[in-house]
Amino acid sequence: MKQQLNTNRVSAKPKRSLGQNFIINENFLSNLNKNISSDSETTIIEIGPGKGALTNYLVKKNFESLYLIEKDYELSIQLKNNFKENKKIKILNEDALNYNFMSFYSCNNVIIIGNLPFNVSTQLLFKWLEEKKWPPFYKKMILMFQKEVAERITSKHNHKNYSRISVASQARCKVKSIVTAPSSIFFPKPKVDGVILEFTPILKYKEIDFQLLLNVLKLSFSQRRKKIKNNLYKYTDILEKLGINQNLRAENITVDEYCKIVKML
């Protein structure tokens, strides 16, 4: 049975400019929380905690420290008041897109969690996939995406959803869909459903130049109906050496093959 949080305690009007759709379903939050494991050495970074719906669950977990990065000043003050007793919780009134995460590089076991505006999640995903040092500073990222974007991120080759973001994500991380988030669990209710994905960094392609991979993907998927020999006409010798059928389209080339192309550049 669904349980809705009392939305009366949502004091200030949600700001559309900050994509504020707050989770109001306790069953969903409890289920999501069960999928997040931590221990006494974990640093949890929650991005866009809002009014603290998920944070109220996270605070009961084991962790070394819990950082809450919230762009909305009023909400950050509210969070500071709510959690002022707990010295292991730090609230930062920052824009996660501009924030420098370097201070977390020395932490052992970092988990990033965020139910953010959908467009911000995608930008942050790329920011964290583009980390120069690999494996990166985080052990896991647990992020909410619009359902259609999540389907693209997790798609395998030979599928219409397979795109630049699928290859970029899967070349860097093992990606798993952990919970679906129907629009009814939010207040205000957004137009689309969401999905929470878990990203665990992998080492298989750690040597490749990720920026080069992004360039190759841009060329490959810019006109996805074209044959790969047209989109990657500069690299036909490499395609030939790798035995890749040049009449295939971008969506038919595997993550492994894209990474092999990049290795040979």
Rounded to the nearest whole angstrom, what is the least distance from the CB of residue 196 to ligand SAM in the complex? 10
Rounded to the nearest whole angstrom, what is the least distance from the CB of residue 247 to ligand SAM in the complex? 43
CA distance 230 to 237: 13
Which position among 25, 36, 70, 83 is part of the footprint of ligand SAM (CB under 6 A)?
70
Q: Which is nearer to ligand SAM, 20 or 169 (CB)?
A: 20
Minimal CB distance to ligand SAM: which residue?
48
Which position among 25, 32, 49, 220 is part of the footprint of ligand SAM (CB under 6 A)?
49
Rounded to the nearest whole angstrom, what is the least distance from the CB of residue 60 to ligand SAM in the complex? 17
Rounded to the nearest whole angstrom, what is the least distance from the CB of residue 209 to ligand SAM in the complex? 28
Which position among 5, 23, 141, 253 is part of the footprint of ligand SAM (CB under 6 A)?
23
**Would you count residue 48 as binding ligand SAM (CB under 6 A)?**
yes
DSSP track, the chain: ---B--GGG--SPPPGGGT--EE-BHHHHHHHHHT----TTEEEEEE--TTTTTHHHHTTS--SEEEEE-S-HHHHHHHHHHTTT-TTEEEE---TTT--GGGGTT-SEEEEEE---HHHHHHHHHHHHT-SSSS-SEEEEEEEEEHHHHHHHHPPSSSTT--HHHHHHHHHEEEEEEEEE-GGGEESPPSS-EEEEEEEE--TTTTS-HHHHHHHHHHHHTTTTSBHHHHTGGGHHHHHHTT--TTSBGGGS-HHHHHHHHHT-
Rounded to the nearest whole angstrom, what is the least distance from the CB of residue 21 to ligand SAM in the complex? 4
| Window 112-151: residues binding ligand SAM (CB under 6 A) | 115-117, 120
CA torsion, ordered 159, 165, 166, 170, to nearest 10 deg: 170
Which position among 22, 63, 138, 162 is part of the footprint of ligand SAM (CB under 6 A)?
22
Which position among 32, 44, 66, 69 is part of the footprint of ligand SAM (CB under 6 A)?
69
Q: Which is nearer to ligand SAM, 18 or 238 (CB)?
A: 18
**Would you count residue 198 as binding ligand SAM (CB under 6 A)?**
no
**Would you count residue 21 as binding ligand SAM (CB under 6 A)?**
yes
- Per CB under 6 A, which region of 45-53, 196-204, 206-214, 235-243 contacts ligand SAM? 45-53
CA distance 7 to 87: 28
Rounded to the nearest whole angstrom, what is the least distance from the CB of residue 128 to ligand SAM in the complex? 13
Q: Are 121 and 145 in contact (CB under 8 A)?
A: yes
Rule CB under 6 A: which residues touch ligand SAM? 18-23, 47-50, 53-54, 69-72, 75, 95-97, 115-117, 120
